[in-house]
Amino acid sequence: MPSNNSDVVDDIRDLTPVLNKPHALLPFLQLQSATSLSRLYQSPSSCLSIFRLLDSIERQLVMNLLWLESAISLTTMGAWVVQDQKKVYDDALDMLSKLHILHISGKLSLNTTFKTSLRHAITGGGTTGSFGVPAEKDEKRPPMDVEGLDGYALERWETILHFMVSSGTGQTPTRPSQGVLYLLQRSGLMSNQHGSLPQITSAGFQFLLHPPHAQLWDLLLQYLHMAEERQMDLVEVLTFFFMLSTMELGREYLTENLSQTQKAMLDDLRDYGLIWQRRATSRRFSPTRLATTLTSSSPSLPTSTGAASSSQQGFIVLETNYRVYAYTDNPLQTAVLNLFVSLKYRFPNLVVGSITRDSVRRALNNGISAAQIISYLTAHAHPQMRKFNPLIPVTVQDQIRLWELEKERLKSQEGYLYTAFASQADYEFVLDYAKQLDVVLWENNAKRCFFGSLGGHSNIRNFIERRTSGAT
């Protein structure tokens, strides 16, 4: 089956450029108006965070222009670019101008607001207070330590994921708060069609296999969309996200300087595990690791607890005989594995199962793709597995992809079957007309019938009616 193999190769190639994809937030920012972006750029912490989300070339271009007082001509800047990398450079300029960071009009210059704010961020100073107002040390009630914050964030986050993964299985795990449930439904990750209990959707299954960092941004982007509908001020919401991302882990901050919108957000963010507060009415809050690593690519889920640390290292061993050994005692990881592995035994620190046709087909039916399964296995492979090249055994990889192709063997299309023609001439006459319209999906000369697509039906019917009326 050479064709299948070449498909597999193509699929692998499709997976690789994921690294160069712009951050999920940037397309959202591009959609915002110039005025709201300009308001956003007034805060040094926002500028710093957006700067970090940019690609490395874009960052360097911004830095090159940051300390210049006057605009620089396009040719001067272009002279620094290596010729065969021109496209990368042009893409970078394009991205920056879409974000309204860069003005290109014969000459290149940074957005003045952005320039001033980023300079403030780098040199310090200014009076914007955009990095959050830290609280004085309270001797009686010391702030939550880093381990405590990590535990809290992990517990909140896994509650959400665990609720999603076990929604269809009849188990009843802890329910996340009403706000979280609403967000999950709004974002299409869960649906509420079947009775009262929300059910996970195929988008939700795909979401579960994403790395934690992408999951977090997925949810926050949904939150931003929801904020638009709730008439919240988007700029303030974004500013608060970026402020959180520049805060220091293990330190308390005051809520007093926050705007009304941002204070309202505290409740939501507490539910997601991004911040911790002693009480809902407390005037202080501490960001957790989920929040402070928003603009970095370092693991956003805490590494303090045993289960999580093994997930950072990778815990899955996959053999060429389709057996899966997962060194974990984390119920969430087990549940996620259960999506596409049929589990056999469970030990205190080990789960054993195997990838079978049925288990993979179940996953495919849930909307998970073969590529996602493979990338999940790759991302969580045990250090022992990393000795092998390729990391996932080729037999298993190919088989999973073949099972996916097998599922796509049938495709349905709506249309009309034209049959019972009076003569072969009639049949051919109509068929020729239908072929001219390019609406024939299937034809059988022996049985004098053909199948036309839905779109072409009215034309063909008119044609036949005209012909029958003309004949009589």
Partner 1 sequence: MDGSHLSVVVDLCPSQWHLSSLHQPYPLDLGSFVSQLLAFLNSHIASRHENSLAVFGAFPGKSVLLYSSANSPSETPSNDANSFPPFKMVDSTIMHNIVQQLDALDQGLDEEAPSALVGALTKALCFINRLTLEFNTSTANATEGLEPLTLSDPRILVLSVSPDQTTSYIPVMNSIFSAQKLKVTIDACQIYGPETVFLQQAAHLTGGSYIYLERRDALLQYLTMAFLPPPSIRQTISVPTQDKIDFRAACFCHKNIVDVGFVCSVCLSIFCQPVPVCSTCRTKFPIKTLQRLNAARPSLPLTSASQSRNSSTPPTPQKINGHASVTPSQPLGPGGLPPSGSINDNSTFHTNGAKNGLGLSG
Q: Which is nearer to partner 1, 66 or 214 (CB)?
A: 66
Look up residue 456 and give its DSSP letter: G
Under rule CB under 8 A, residue 23 binds partner 1: no
- Interface pick for partner 1 out of 90, 248, 358, 432 (rule CB under 8 A): 248
Return the residue matching tokens 């992408």.
Answer: 214
- Interface pick for partner 1 out of 40, 48, 275, 355 (rule CB under 8 A): 48
φ/ψ (deg, to 5) at 175 = -85, 135
Structure tokens at 296: 């970095």
Give the three-state DSSP class for 328.
Answer: coil
β-partners of residue 316 are: 326, 381
Q: How far is the CB of 64 from partner 1 (least distance, A)?
A: 5
Of 148, 150, 116, whose CA–CA distance to 130 is shortest? Answer: 116
Of 147, 103, 172, whose CA–CA distance to 288 is shortest? Answer: 147
Q: How far is the CB of 185 from partner 1 (least distance, A)?
A: 33
- Interface pick for partner 1 out of 16, 20, 56, 458 (rule CB under 8 A): 56
Region of 78-86, 98-106, 190-198, 231-239 interacting with partner 1 (CB under 8 A) = 78-86
Q: How far is the CB of 139 from partner 1 (least distance, A)?
A: 16
Q: Which is nearer to partner 1, 61 or 431 (CB)?
A: 61
Under rule CB under 8 A, residue 24 binds partner 1: no
Q: Which is nearer to partner 1, 126 or 331 (CB)?
A: 126
Under rule CB under 8 A, residue 88 binds partner 1: yes
Under rule CB under 8 A, residue 133 binds partner 1: yes
Under rule CB under 8 A, residue 46 binds partner 1: no
Q: How far is the CB of 82 from partner 1 (least distance, A)?
A: 5
Structure tokens at 315: 């815990």
Q: How far is the CB of 118 from partner 1 (least distance, A)?
A: 8
d(Cα 465, Cα 472) in Å, to the nearest integer? 11
For residue 182, CA distances in Å to 3, 37, 52, 227, 435 come to 45, 28, 31, 13, 50
DSSP per-residue letters across 264-292:
HHHHHHHHHTSEE-SSTT-SEEEE-HHHH
Q: How far is the CB of 248 from partner 1 (least distance, A)?
A: 5
- Interface pick for partner 1 out of 11, 38, 109, 126 (rule CB under 8 A): 126
Region of 44-52, 156-164, 181-189, 372-380 interacting with partner 1 (CB under 8 A) = 44-52
Under rule CB under 8 A, residue 61 binds partner 1: yes
d(Cα 151, Cα 273) in Å, to the nearest integer? 10
Under rule CB under 8 A, residue 68 binds partner 1: yes
Start-to-end CA distance of the chain, whole Å, equals 55
d(Cα 241, Cα 51) in Å, to the nearest integer? 14
- Interface pick for partner 1 out of 24, 57, 264, 343 (rule CB under 8 A): 57
- Interface pick for partner 1 out of 30, 38, 42, 64 (rule CB under 8 A): 64
- Interface pick for partner 1 out of 26, 71, 81, 203 (rule CB under 8 A): 81
Under rule CB under 8 A, residue 127 binds partner 1: yes
Under rule CB under 8 A, residue 212 binds partner 1: no
d(Cα 185, Cα 194) in Å, to the nearest integer? 13
Q: How far is the CB of 35 from partner 1 (least distance, A)?
A: 25
Kind and range of the H or E run holding 190? strand 190-191
Q: How far is the CB of 224 from partner 1 (least distance, A)?
A: 21
Give the three-state DSSP class for 238.
Answer: helix
For residue 383, CA distances in Å to 74, 254, 374 come to 48, 42, 16
Under rule CB under 8 A, residue 63 binds partner 1: yes
Region of 50-58, 260-268, 283-291, 324-332 interacting with partner 1 (CB under 8 A) = 50-58
Under rule CB under 8 A, residue 384 binds partner 1: yes
Q: Which is nearer to partner 1, 125 or 455 (CB)?
A: 125
Strands 351-354 and 415-418: unpaired
Long-range pairs, 446-449, Cβ under 8 A, ≥24: 447/419, 448/419, 448/420, 448/421, 448/424, 449/417, 449/418, 449/419, 449/420, 449/421
Q: How far is the CB of 211 from partner 1 (least distance, A)?
A: 13
Q: Under the rule (CB under 8 A), what is the footprint of partner 1?
A: 44-45, 48, 51-52, 56-57, 59-61, 63-64, 66-68, 80-82, 85, 88-89, 120-134, 136, 246-248, 251, 257, 293, 295-298, 313, 383-384, 386-387
